[in-house]
Amino acid sequence: MSEGSKGSSLAFGQVVIGPPGSGKTTYCHGMQEFMGRIGRKVTVVNLDPANEAMPYQCAVDVAELITLPDVMENLKLGPNGGLIYCMEYLEANFDWLQEKLAAFRGHYYLFDCPGQVELYTHHDALKNVFAQLAKWNFRLAAVHLVDSHYCTDPGKFISVLCTSLSTMLHVELPHVNVLSKMDLIEQYGKLAFNLDYYTEVLDLSYLVDHLASDPFFRNYRRLNEKLVEVIEDYSLVSFVPLNVQDKESMRQVMQAVDKANGYSFGDQEHRSLEALMSAAVGADFQFTSTLAVQEKYVQSQDKAVEEEVMDL
């Protein structure tokens, strides 16, 4: 993986990004396990210096180079300033990262990244790390995780769309936006529209109209209309729903990422994938599929309408 070497082989992978609590580490664990079942050799690289409890098998850990607690203690920085310093320190020590990654040639890489949003929308350190990986012939796609509970709040969903768009433009990688924790979305409340409205980011004027019914947002209608116009003008943001415990959901996300970074799998992996998908549901996949989530919403809405009619 010498820099500038055209003869070196390509390496494929994902940089898993997103705000704190969006499920990045859980995603890396689930995707490592899923890909391992279909015969793909996966290496997980932890780039989060604050990540202490890692459920996955970590091959390369940035904590060997620098940790957030050490930075905060020695430099008297807060968590946000400390994370930025850690990423700048990683950027200044590319040789360490190159040496560590060289031991896993031929593997598929999952990069578990920090959860500070500013690192993907404003700061350049991680962006420069990704650019350096590209110079080492890494073909990466950014997997941007967003907690699905934001769909239940139109105001927050517009904010998420703006953040996702800003991240896509700043990081400058092929991008797959993912709505995570779909198996928990029912706990957050009722969706104003069908699930595909949020995943496909359809006509957002309906969302603005829905916000206008809220007294708090009524005064900000013009602002929301302009934000929505920016999102729709770029026409870049859409989402893939994800339930890490559902293998069909994992397959859909994996194939979306494979398409984004140009990875093409061989016949053996294809056969393994078909065998996995046709196998009986295992103990670790006993959750409803993403489609079932939407069906439950439709059923609950129909039931609510029936009850209102009966009351009349």
pLDDT digits (tens, 9 = 90+) for 203-222: 899 888 888 887 777 788 89
The tens digit of pLDDT for each residue in 23-73 reads: 999 999 999 999 999 999 999 999 999 998 899 999 999 999 999 999 999
**Residues paired with residue 61 on neighbouring β-strands, in sequence order:** 46
User: Cα–Cα distances in Å, from 311 out to 295, 302, 306, 308?
Assistant: 24, 14, 9, 5
Residue 293 scores a pLDDT above 70: no
The percent of residues above 90 in pLDDT, for the chain, comes to 62
The pLDDT, as a whole number, for residue 172 is 93
The alpha helices in the chain, defined as continuous H runs, are: 24-37, 68-75, 79-91, 94-102, 118-121, 125-135, 154-171, 195-199, 205-212, 215-218, 221-234, 247-261, 267-278, 290-311
The pLDDT, as a whole number, for residue 187 is 82
- Kindly state the tokens that stand for 21: 């609590």
Q: Using CB atoms within 10 A of its CB, is residue 250 exposed (0-12), middle (13-18) or buried (19+)?
A: buried
Question: How many other C-beta atoms can be found within 10 angstroms of the C-beta atom of residue 203?
Answer: 11
**Residues paired with residue 44 on neighbouring β-strands, in sequence order:** 58, 110
